[in-house]
Structure 1
Amino acid sequence: MTKGPEVNQPTDQEKLASLRQKLADVSGKMQALSTEEQMAAEKDPKEFANLFQTQTDLQAAIKDLQESIKPASKSGDVSQHTRDSSRNPPR
């Protein structure tokens, strides 16, 4: 017999896959924006400002997704902290 409440809930692996897909989607939008920004900056400064704000929003979404993926990993807090430190060394 399967456990009732767990049947309807996605597994950690499914959540992680979903978040990674969202992250990939947002990253693709970011790359597309880079090209659009260059063209907009030449033609219309106001449009450039709008695209820049959109890019900033997408960067925030990426950061949120990365933060939400971290707790789903099976590694302990110490190893996670070590990985973060190696990625962003102190200045």
Structure 2
Amino acid sequence: MLHMVIARHSPESCPGRQGNESVHLCLNSMEELIQQRGVKIVGRWADPPAHVNYMVLDAENAHVIQELFMESGLFESMEVDVRPVLSMD
């Protein structure tokens, strides 16, 4: 099932901000967890000035995606919205 994930962070918790290197560890962990759980990345986009990231993930359900963000530690620095979506193709 496809899910649109919208992840927002504040300028203060931005991974690009000096001193926030710990967020990079969470991002790396997220990549590993995605592979381990068999979640497929359909697409990823970033809007750096707005501090928003968009992902379309193919996962069994939204709970799997929520667990990815929780286990990776990204929930501590981001607000995440997960929405089931359908392909219009």
- TM-score w.r.t. the length of structure 1 is 0.28
Q: Which has the higher helix share?
A: 1
Q: Which has the higher strand share?
A: 2
Point out the structure with max Rg over C-alpha. 1
- TM-score w.r.t. the length of structure 2 is 0.28
